[in-house]
Amino acid sequence: MAQGILVFIEQRNGQVRKSSLEALSEAARLIGNVGGSVSAVVVGQNVKGLTAEISKYKPAKIFVVDSGDFANYSTEGYAQAVTEAVKKADPAFVFSAQTSMAKDLIPRVAARLDAPIATDVTEIKSEGSSLTAVKPMYSGKAYGVYEFASPLVFLTLRPNRFALAAADAGHQAQVEDLAVAAGNIRAKVGEVHAAKGQTIEVSEAPIIVAGGRGIKGPENWPVLQNLCDVLGAALGASRAVVDAGWIDHQHQVGQTGKTVSPQLYIACGISGAIQHLAGMSSSKVIVAINKDPEAPIFKHATYGIVGDVLEIVPKVTEELKHMNGKN
Amino acid sequence: MKIAVCIKSVPDTEAKIKVAGDSKNIDTADVRFITNPYDEFAIEEALKLKEKFGGETVAIAIGGNEATEVLRDSLARGIDSAIHVKDAELENLDPLSTAKILANVIKEGGYDVVFCGQQGVGGDNSAVPSMLAEFLDMPQVAMTVKLEVTDNKFKAEREIEGAHEIVEGNLPALFSAQKGLNEPRYPSIKGVMAARRKEIAVKDANALGVAGNFSADKRKMRLKQMVMPPERPQGKLIDGDVDTQAKTLVKLLREEAHVI
Ligand SMILES: Cc1cc2nc3c(=O)[nH]c(=O)nc-3n(C[C@H](O)[C@H](O)[C@H](O)COP(=O)(O)OP(=O)(O)OC[C@H]3O[C@@H](n4cnc5c(N)ncnc54)[C@H](O)[C@@H]3O)c2cc1C
């Protein structure tokens, strides 16, 4: 009988994604209701060393698929590996973080196992041993509550929405090697080009400082970047400035950009168009800085400042530096 | 080259969304339906491939009457023919069922390339393309931002966190389109006129041989309830001169919101 929760742990370049550990934390929180135990699967080359970190979030078991075949991500290779792990663990649920890898991979695995999938889940509720998943629809203008009639269900969880559990260095998960032949990989990943100048990834950042047309021109990005630096924040952008060529699409937040749920989102010179809100309205705290008091963003802001972003942001940065200096 | 494009009709992204009385659907009064924005990139890429290699392009949509106009829009942009899967039994499908039905339509067609939008703005699932590729037993690239095809080989670029990945392989293959792939063209007047004369093939569950397979009680995922997002509490406007505003903001973020 299918039981328990298996969590797909994503790694790139030997780094475990924080959002995968969030999914693992949520699995540990729910397991009492679901029954069975939590297991994890990690795929790649030379990834065995990652089990120590994964173990801290208390899975009972970690499946490791470690081979040169998985040095690069490929849909078919990874789908094969995860499918084998699911067959071995025979869970009732498979969790993963909703990342670009997950968008490519997890539905493919679900299809292979004829199982339903709810993606970009923002809340999971338990009713007896069954789970219901809450996820945004219509760009967050509504939320759907989904129920499942299947012995196996896949859920991908929105990053930053599920709290990371306290790490327990004392916990020792059982580690099991899984030998998987990747099979015929028809679409191979060759090169990977790192995005220019990006240090902190927008979709996982706990704080985002985002700029729109109100920053006047690309020469003013350093004004926002300085604020990012003191806050340890990622730089976000509206579509208008991406389309204008002021910044790379990687930074775009919204309907046709990234969906984010940070603790703090500072919107600088962004009007708050519905398609921008689609990507960031589930942020915990929203700060809007805009010179137009009628800008729609103010209706969604926790704190609003009416004024010129190029005057206010440097002052805020200064104030934070001053405060940090005193600590 | 034979190219299939899966399209979806969705509420205009500007539309106000209200939950209907049954709390499972949206209230469609006053809602204008449009081609899913990501599908526009998929249609454009199909047209570009046909311009380069010749062949045939087919648009496929599952849906009610609202899908008819959207299929006409594809035809007006230059897509050669359209298939409309229309059946009350096949409404409000989950991604798994959608992918199975699309695979059923596409499988026998001998397509070299299948395009989808990376996400339907509605269910917001981004699950159908990968599921469909699995059912078609094709390699795939999800969230494609660049595509080159030569001699039945493809080289595609996809967006990942902080980087772009280059994926190479042979056709047939499926690609889901992400913003950045191209600049979609608008339908021309001539295209709109021509689209009126083109036929849309309508298929129901019987014609597809799937009658009874996808009725609501057979689905593995069901929408139990649709709810509006929680209201955000009324925000605070911070007054004063620039210095005061900056100081107050930092204080509030630290002492009230506890986020820094
Ligand atoms: C299908 C579709 C998908 C879309 N997807 C996205 C998406 O993913 N992300 C997205 O962001 N948009 C998206 N859009 C576009 C969206 O509708 C808006 O056009 C866009 O968000 C506007 O960007 P903006 O707020 O930077 O620019 P504007 O709307 O031009 O607003 C600029 C704001 O800056 C303020 N301002 C000007 N000068 C100053 C100053 N000195 N100090 C302070 N404030 C100042 C102005 O008052 C104004 O409110 C999409 C649109 C469509 C149709």
Strands laid side by side in the A142-148 sheet: A123-127, A130-137, A142-148, B221-227
- Closest residue by Cα to atom 11, ligand 1, is A238
Six-digit token string for B114? 């299948």
- Taking alpha carbons only, the member of A37, A32, A154 closest to residue A93 is A154
Instruction: Report CA(A238)–ligand 1 centroid distance (Å).
Output: 6
Is A221 at the interface with chain B, CB within 8 A?
no
Residues of A (51-70) whose Cβ lies below 8 Å from B: none
Q: What is the pLDDT of residues B58-80, one digit of tens each?
A: 999 999 999 999 999 999 999 99
Residue A123 burial (C-beta neighbours within 10 Å; 0-12, 13-18, 19+) = middle
- Inform me whether the C-beta atom of residue B252 falls under 8 Å from chain A C-beta atoms: yes
Whether residue A41 has pLDDT greater than 70? yes
Q: Write the DSSP string, B147-200.
A: EEEETTEEEEEEEETTEEEEEEEESSEEEEE-TTS--PPPPPHHHHHHHHHS-E
Interface probe, candidates B159, B221, B237, chain A, greatest A C-beta count within 10 A: B221
Percent of chain B at pLDDT > 90 equals 91
Give the CA diameter of chain A.
Answer: 63
- Judge whether residue B117 has pLDDT over 90: yes
A238 lines ligand 1 (CB under 6 A): yes
Lowest mean pLDDT among A186-200, A244-258, B191-205: A186-200
**pLDDT at residue A197, rounded to an integer:** 64
The answer to whether the CB of A36 is under 6 A from ligand 1 is: no
Best substitution site from A270, A299, A310, A311 to test ligand 1's pocket, by max atoms within 8 Å of Cβ? A270
Q: Is A271 in the pocket of ligand 1 (CB under 6 A)?
A: yes
Q: What is the mean pLDDT of residues B204-221?
A: 94
pLDDT of residue B227: 96
* B231 pLDDT higher than 90: no
Q: What number is the ipTM of this complex?
A: 0.96
Ligand 1 pocket mutation, candidates A215, A252, A268, A271, criterion most atoms within 8 A of CB: A271
Task: Find the residue in A nearest to B234 (Cα).
Answer: A302
Residue pair A227/A246 in contact (Cβ under 8 Å)? The answer is no
**Going by CA atoms, what residue is nearest to atom 8 of ligand 1?**
A254
| Nearest residue in B to A256, CA atom | B179
Number of C-alpha atoms within 13 angstroms, CB side, residue B185?
Answer: 17
Percentage of chain A modeled with pLDDT above 70: 98
| CB contact at 8 A, A315 and B248 | no
As a whole number of angstroms, the distance between CA A125 and CA B173 comes to 38
Residues contacting A89, CB < 8 A, separation 6+: A4, A6, A39, A41, A61, A63
Q: Measure the CA–CA gap between B9 and A322, rounded to whole angstroms.
A: 53
Q: Is the pLDDT assigned to residue A195 strictly greater than 90?
A: no
For residue A116, list chain B residues with Cβ-Cβ distance below 8 A.
94-96, 219-221
Query: Does residue A199 have a pLDDT over 90?
Result: no
Beta-carbon separation of B253 and A264 below 8 A: yes
